[in-house]
């Protein structure tokens, strides 16, 4: 059921995927889906959170020495996105672009469960960590959009090692180089 839900949410988005169609694809009765997951929201959360549990890939990133953190982040992003979790994460991204509640969900999830843990390895004030984390998130999200959603060539077909070589210096500078986002606009 979760596999069918992930495929349906990824292909048709949150609004377009119906519990009825998901049940049909999974070969079960819609009542069974309702019984197990209750609402479509709960099914969505179960579908999108399971395929890419940060606990599965973060330890490798967190184990990297500070001057290798940028490369470790890119390498792990590519490994997760090139793996079986892609449809589920894509569903989350699609939903986040369409629904304010889902954007909030994704932002909180990415901030609390990924970014803060990565920049938490750096010895600096919290505000500076948050700024660096937001910049890292911007390049990671853009890489994902360009390579996996819009499929911009040659980035979409490039070897992971070449993508790491091209993008890791950006993340490394955002993490440990000179950046300052402390000013706020009026």
Q: Which residues bind its own copies (CB under 8 A)?
A: 13, 15-16, 93-94, 96-98, 103, 106-107, 110-111, 127, 130-131, 134-135, 137-143, 145-147, 149-155, 157-163, 165-167, 169-170, 173-174, 179-185
Of 78, 79, 71, which Cα lies nearest the Cα of 165? 71
35 vs 151 by CB, closer to its own copies: 151
Contact 172, 74 (CB under 8 A): no
Which residues have CB under 8 Å from 55's CB, separation 6+?
A: none
CA 50 to CA 2: how far, in whole Å? 9
**Token pair in block for residue 41:** 């929201």
Q: How far is the CB of 31 from its own copies (least distance, A)?
A: 28
Contact 114, 57 (CB under 8 A): no
28 vs 135 by CB, closer to its own copies: 135
**Token pair in block for residue 45:** 């959360």
Q: How far is the CB of 135 from its own copies (least distance, A)?
A: 6
50 vs 137 by CB, closer to its own copies: 137
63 vs 181 by CB, closer to its own copies: 181
33 vs 118 by CB, closer to its own copies: 118
Which residues have CB under 8 Å from 178's CB, separation 6+?
A: none
Q: How far is the CB of 35 from its own copies (least distance, A)?
A: 29
Q: How far is the CB of 147 from its own copies (least distance, A)?
A: 7
Contact 146, 166 (CB under 8 A): no
Q: How far is the CB of 111 from its own copies (least distance, A)?
A: 7
């Amino acid at each position: 059921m979760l596999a069918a839900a992930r495929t349906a949410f990824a292909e048709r988005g949150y609004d377009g995927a119906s519990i009825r169609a998901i049940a049909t694809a999974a070969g079960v009765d819609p009542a069974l889906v309702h019984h197990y997951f209750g609402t479509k929201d709960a099914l969505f959360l179960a579908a999108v959170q399971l395929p890419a549990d940060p606990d599965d890939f973060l330890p490798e990133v967190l184990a990297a020495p500070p001057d290798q953190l940028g490369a470790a982040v890119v390498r792990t992003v590519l490994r997760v996105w090139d793996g079986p979790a892609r449809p589920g994460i894509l569903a989350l991204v699609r939903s986040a672009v369409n629904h304010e509640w889902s954007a909030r969900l994704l932002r909180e999830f990415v901030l609390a469960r990924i970014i803060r843990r990565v920049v938490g390895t750096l010895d600096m004030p919290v505000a500076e960590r948050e700024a660096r984390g937001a910049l890292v998130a911007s390049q990671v999200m853009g890489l994902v959009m360009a390579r996996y959603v819009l499929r911009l060539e040659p980035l979409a077909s490039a070897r992971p090692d070449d993508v790491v070589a091209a993008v890791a210096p950006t993340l490394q500078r955002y993490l440990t180089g000179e950046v300052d986002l402390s000013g706020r606009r009026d």
